[in-house]
A and B are shown apart, each in its own frame.
Chain A
């Protein structure tokens, strides 16, 4: 380098290039002078600006944690549990502890982008204005061609359960009458069952589990998917309670139980009925309770005596008679006794019916309306917000589906058969999809058909944080905020706490909240066609939180101003045992073992056994795809921490089955049926039964893995009444396997 400057005469840049370089210096340049910090070599800028914010985990989870977000220099540094939240008690789960990392994941979606053509992987960044213009013009075009906005379909659900996120529905409504996915894939059969039996969808305070002496966790795995609940179960155990787990998989929860029953999948009703028969035979039923508070006991008793034997129950469930007796005697003689009915066990063609059979055990033993007792499933009693963000009027003159009363309404499709239904709709057909808080590309049944449905659209818009299987199928992706970047308020479908979600940091890159996206779209719509959208074009999201509150919510939570939530989460003032007066919400005001309403809906009047779905001969194995440990549906598993801990999905196979199929641990296995296939690495383990294989649903970073290629959209038996559509029998999924 000695002669560095001597070479200059022989080689020089052309004037043209120098000019270009000088022009290049201005391109995409952003740094500008700041007068507050004049140039200095010696005084580094030190900002010690630490703030904390109350946030709430908005994911589809029992625990819905209260959180404390610590922000320094405008950067989210760590996320802790809120110690003032009575259910989650200052702790998070392993997913929650990845939040600061997830917020700043380098692979978050940063800008609005367009994929040309759809599915090609050929993306380009566009401005928000350009993205909104393309979307708005397509909406106006469809409205012009079809005379309404019904060709636009929304699929939005549980990716963020914050109340302000119902602004997504509000956005679509503000354009006119539209088509939307109605229902819930998660838990509808059990909701209807609970509603048929008790008359209202509610449950006891789960904190009361600590007071129970006998807890049956039936088809739930809280050690993985509701970790804070384990603390109340632990308290109960320390007070001498016995804990029983009933599950087709020997789960992490089962490993902490006193007793574990590996039941044949979907035969839960038969086990409950066997227990009921033993209780009846041993005269341990609560005759006074049955007499006063239950409708249909004589009929149910007759059914038990006529149709149910322990031998039949044993044969059906795969549980030895002795085991059933031990369970029945423990449950019937130890009080208070409680059953936690999980959501996994109702994802069957007989799922709702099985939940009713389990509810019957609580009724038979009078274990209802007592703290630490009951059959607990879930509730929505703390969700009575205004849904201001959702309740937007349609623009004047909008047309939709005639409602028969001279007006119009939105059009629905079954969320649980979304792909087929949006393709089948006519007059008008569905031409545009808006996907938010949802990843059907990964989570819906029949993944192949989902792809086909997306590909039949004229425009697919997906709002998301990460490039998942749904974004892959989009024309336009819109970057959305994390819950640290927007305002919200959150409640649970399990515990009774409410948490404010304060905005802790500014959105990264160009992310916008769903409400802000609605505002941006409205602005563009009204610019192109004044009056075509009623969504506000601006507004303060913190104020929008306030607009969700009403006197009912205030009274329920014992607060007079929502801003009080900034000081601490609040708990609903309800009796711990919700049915303590034993006045039920059913037509008879009693717990209904015999239900006229089920009968009217084409279902058995009583929780008689409805045979579980049988494996067809060519696909003899049941393929269970329950909730994972390292993610929540398609969220979290893609985070680097999770990818390091759990780098790839595995297929759990019992050693007997593996031997029969010549499969060794680590072999690649093809899991298939007529719908499709999944290829997975084998893990030989006795946690599953020999007639069942298991993998856990989710979305892995940079992976095509999707458990739903073999899952047909088979409806569960219940769900219509309370959620609009029946559930999905996700776990009635039958396959064959072979070593690849």
Chain B
């Protein structure tokens, strides 16, 4: 396997891993620095213009983080897939169960004592980066068919879930936030999402299923 491919995959993984953080916990300067770098490197790598990350508010982003995603008031941008996709616009709908089922197909589950919807953005991104890491690990083991399957799983998860609701989520985040940082994060997420389809398509061509493994 080519070194540039691995480096690319590692960069992409790092970016998505870092991107998840401000959706699950208030961002630190440390995170901001790393995410900024990852955005600009990935932007250069893909040739896709990704907007820069705005600096953190000097007073910290914690109040805004809670207002956007935690509560206790009605959330500005509820980070749950089913809210955007279900007719009821509620938690724990069919979409949530489909996400749960997707995780299980890949041997993953949320702990039984965690009574949170499986389709929280944090878990979906955790899962998406898990699939990405699987690709890297499979390639390192020389199992290119396994890697291709994980790419395929990403394509499915992207098409069936992420792409289905994140644009609407990002719209609510961008329109509703009072924080320039979170507005830029919403824009980055939206652009990154747009890069995924061509990136995944390119990866499919780079990591072909070995003929003897083809089903």
Contacts and interface: CB of A to CB of B under 8 A. Distances in A.
Nearest to B26: A124
Contact of B8 (A5, A24, A107, A125): A5
Contacts of B123: 30-31
Contacts of A507: 115
B66 to A, nearest CB: 5
B30 interface: yes
Interface in A508-554: 508-510
B182 interface: no
Contacts of B96: 75
Contact of A124 (B18, B62, B116): B62
A426 interface: no
Given A4-B8, A477-B72, A75 B97 contact: yes
Contact of A44 (B105, B107, B133): B105
Nearest to A472: B73
Interface in A17-38: 17-18, 20-22, 24-25, 27-35, 37-38
Nearest to A8: B4
A223 B96 CA distance: 37
Contact of B108 (A34, A110, A479): A34
B17 A21 contact: yes
**A31, A35, A105, A108 interface centre (most CB from chain B within 10 Å):** A31
**A4, A40, A510 interface centre (most CB from chain B within 10 Å):** A4
B105 A41 contact: yes
Given A12-B11, A20-B18, A33 B93 contact: no
Contact of B18 (A9, A14, A21, A479): A21
Interface stretch (B50-58, B84-92, B185-193): B84-92
Nearest to B36: A17
Contacts of A640: 89
Contacts of B92: 75-76, 104, 508
B107 A21 contact: no
Interface string A140-162: 00000000000000000000000
B163 interface: no
Contacts of B78: 106-107
**A2, A16, A106, A479 interface centre (most CB from chain B within 10 Å):** A106
B156 to A, nearest CB: 9
A33 B104 CA distance: 9
Nearest to B4: A8
Given A27-B25, A107-B74, A21 B14 contact: yes
Contacts of A4: 8, 45-46, 199, 202
Contact of A123 (B15, B66, B130): B66
Given A16-B34, A21-B18, A39 B127 contact: no
B49 interface: no
A441 B114 CA distance: 32
B24 interface: yes
Nearest to B201: A1
B34 A121 contact: no
A122 interface: yes
Given A27-B25, A106-B75, A124-B66, A11 B104 contact: no
Contact of B130 (A31, A34, A107, A121): A31
A491 interface: no
Contacts of A43: 105
A418 to B, nearest CB: 23
B105 A39 contact: yes
Given A34-B107, A44-B101, A106-B89, A1 B66 contact: no
Nearest to B70: A125
A139 B28 CA distance: 34
B71 interface: yes
A113 interface: yes
A506 B112 CA distance: 10
B126 interface: yes
B41 A5 contact: no
B88 to A, nearest CB: 5
Contacts of A2: 202
Contacts of A30: 110-111, 114, 116, 122-123, 126
A113 B24 contact: no
A508 B14 contact: no
A13 B14 contact: yes
Contact of A506 (B38, B115, B127): B115
B215 to A, nearest CB: 9
Given A31-B127, A39-B107, A105 B66 contact: no
A565 interface: no
Contacts of A33: 107-109
B122 A21 contact: no
A4 B73 CA distance: 43
B45 A45 contact: no
Nearest to A485: B115
A109 interface: yes
A467 B114 CA distance: 23
A31 B11 contact: no
A322 interface: no
B106 A8 contact: no
A123 B71 contact: yes
A9 B25 CA distance: 33
A134 B97 CA distance: 37
B159 interface: no
B125 to A, nearest CB: 10
Contacts of B71: 107-111, 113, 123, 467
Nearest to B80: A106
A650 B185 CA distance: 40
B14 A17 contact: yes
A4 B17 CA distance: 20
B107 A123 contact: no
A73 B74 contact: no
Nearest to A115: B72
A13 B37 CA distance: 7
Contacts of A7: 44-47
Contacts of B74: 106-107, 467, 701-702
Interface string A690-709: 00000000000110000000
A685 B27 CA distance: 54
B67 A17 contact: no
B7 interface: yes
A363 B73 CA distance: 52
Given A121-B67, A122-B63, A509-B115, A31 B44 contact: no
B8 A21 contact: no
Nearest to B109: A34
A101 interface: yes
24 contacts: A1-B46, A4-B199, A5-B202, A7-B47, A8-B3, A8-B7, A8-B11, A18-B14, A28-B25, A31-B109, A32-B108, A37-B104, A73-B97, A75-B96, A104-B92, A106-B75, A106-B89, A107-B75, A108-B71, A111-B71, A121-B73, A122-B63, A123-B71, A124-B63
Given A34-B108, A113-B70, A123-B72, 6 more contacts: A1-B46, A1-B199, A18-B14, A104-B93, A105-B91, A107-B78
